[in-house]
Structure 1
Amino acid sequence: MPLKEVAITVHLIHSSEHHNFKPIVYHRGNLDQTEKEFIVFLEQGAPLRTTLPPPFRNYKYNKLNIIHQAHKSKRNELVLSLENDNRLLLKEESTLKAAGVIHETNIAFFCEVDCTVKSDF
């Protein structure tokens, strides 16, 4: 029987250039929801987390990217890389399961405009 509720670690990335991020673990992530529904869930939950500093609670995030999936090889980037990796950007209309999210997947949540890729990462 496949897991419907999984643990997902979301890295709230405030600045990829300065490596500013905060991980949040969601223990009951639903793989049947779409990326758009998951973004709304994250946007509503982040301002309520008192453990997050205000810059992370009030930041405008809009994109999700898979950083790492459990039991697979890790990439060398410290925070986020979008170079030649559009396959890991989640699509708004697809479900998390269809996008390849599994139990213990790490996902980056960031603002696409602000997180520009630097060649030194």
Structure 2
Amino acid sequence: MEHSSLTLSIRLIRSFEHRNLRNQVLHNVDPQITTEELHDLVKEKISTNTNLPPPFKKFEYDAFKIETQAHGFKTNDPVINCSDDENLILKPNVTLSDSGVKNETELSYFKLSDYLKYKENPTHKW
């Protein structure tokens, strides 16, 4: 059954090494929006969320990665799934639907350069 809109859980990752994470739920997301439109939507939600501390609101997030999907795989890493970047990191100018994002998908939202540094040594604290 195809959903006309998605409910997504956005996992805001401000710091990989310190495991600074917060969740933001988005309802009624159009599966035909692009990655850039999702960036805009999430940034707007973050800026109006009174429960998020200022460091999360001001952080320069620039990448999404599919973390888990309903009834799907789970990762052993407590911060982010470090495998299959080629398929799981959302690409520019591609719709959520074409990226494999389904209803109740959890997406990690982070700074790509921080993720790449973390991925080199996930247990290291900088």
In structure 2, runs of 5+ residues without a counterpart are none
Contact 2:75 2:81 in 1 (8 A): no
Q: Which runs of 5+ in 1 are unaligned?
A: none
Q: What are the residue-to-residue correspondences of 1:1-121 with 2, within 5 Å?
A: 2-115=2-115, 116=117, 117=119, 118-120=121-123
Give the counterpart letter for 2:55 in structure 1: P
Residue identity over aligned pairs, in percent, reads: 31
Alpha-carbon shift at residue 19 of structure 1 (Å): 1.0
Deviant stretches of 4+, over 6 Å: none
Deviation at 1:69? 0.7
Q: Distance in 1 between matches of 2:82 and 2:93?
A: 20
Question: Given that residues 62 and 111 in structure 1 are in contact (C-alpha distance below 8 angstroms), is that contact kept between their aligned partners in structure 2?
Answer: yes
Q: 1:71 to 1:112 in 2, by over 3 A?
A: same
Residue 65 of structure 1 contacts residue 90 of structure 1 at CA under 8 Å; is this kept in 2? yes
TM-score normalised according to structure 2 size = 0.88
Greater share of helix: 2
